Amino acid sequence: MPFKNLRIRELPSTSPKPEEIARSDEGYKSLYTGVDLSGWTGDRDHWKPENWIVSNDGKEAADKTLWSEKEYGDFQMIADWRLPAGKSAILLRSSPKAAIEVRSPAANGSGTLSGIDIAPKVKADNRAGQWNRFVVTMKKDRVTIELNGKTVIEDAQIAGIPDKGRIGLQAEGNAVQFGNIYVRGL
């Protein structure tokens, strides 16, 4: 059915607040397709794609880590995570020295760099079972970690970390979920 007598009129601005406006493209690329584990290697028996989430069932496995196929040098990463109870980690540049602990409950809070034993300066975790967001900035041998909008580790030096390496999601004997996993080179 054709349309007749269409008229176009410009509507006034609603003047949305800055927090109501989508952020412009900042160059992030998704590490997870939302469909399958393409782009990842490692434990595919216990890590499963579930829509926008990558889940680990928490069962014992020889290799507890799911690794990105691509290696990264200087980068910024966003990763959401949810952990009902226990411990997990995100590994940077294929290095156990750069293991960011995810804990629930955590006395000091999540974000400890376990390989060099640097604890978070503030506890910023949401309650057990709720979603949390890390923003991790890795430049040369230094890392800054934000958790839920608060800086928990600032400019920590990780001596001997490789210049480039893969990103790992690690489960340590308990169920854990990661989602919205994005990275951009710096």
With respect to residue 44, please indicate whether it lies within any of the assigned structural domains: yes
- Strands (E) in the chain, as ranges, are 29-30, 40-42, 47-50, 53-56, 65-72, 75-82, 86-92, 95-104, 132-139, 142-147, 150-157, 165-171, 176-185
Structural domain of 166: 27-56+65-185
Mind listing the pLDDT tens digit for each residue in 4-38? 787 888 777 777 777 767 677 889 999 998 899 99
Average pLDDT, the chain: 90
pTM: 0.86
With respect to residue 2, please indicate whether it lies within any of the assigned structural domains: no
CA–CA separation, 67 and 90 (whole Å)? 10
Coil, strand or helix: which one is 5?
A: coil
With respect to residue 5, please indicate whether it lies within any of the assigned structural domains: no
**What is the total count of domains within the chain?**
1
Q: Give the pLDDT band of residue 86 (cuts 50, 70, 90).
A: confident
Burial class (CB in 10 A: 0-12, 13-18, 19+), 91: buried
Residue 138 maps to which CATH number? 2.60.120.560
Token pair listed for 48: 């499963």
State residue 1's pLDDT score: 63
More confidently predicted of 175 and 21: 175
With respect to residue 79, please indicate whether it lies within any of the assigned structural domains: yes
Q: Give the pLDDT band of residue 183 (cuts 50, 70, 90).
A: very high
With respect to residue 1, please indicate whether it lies within any of the assigned structural domains: no
With respect to residue 71, please indicate whether it lies within any of the assigned structural domains: yes
**Does residue 55 have a pLDDT over 90?**
yes
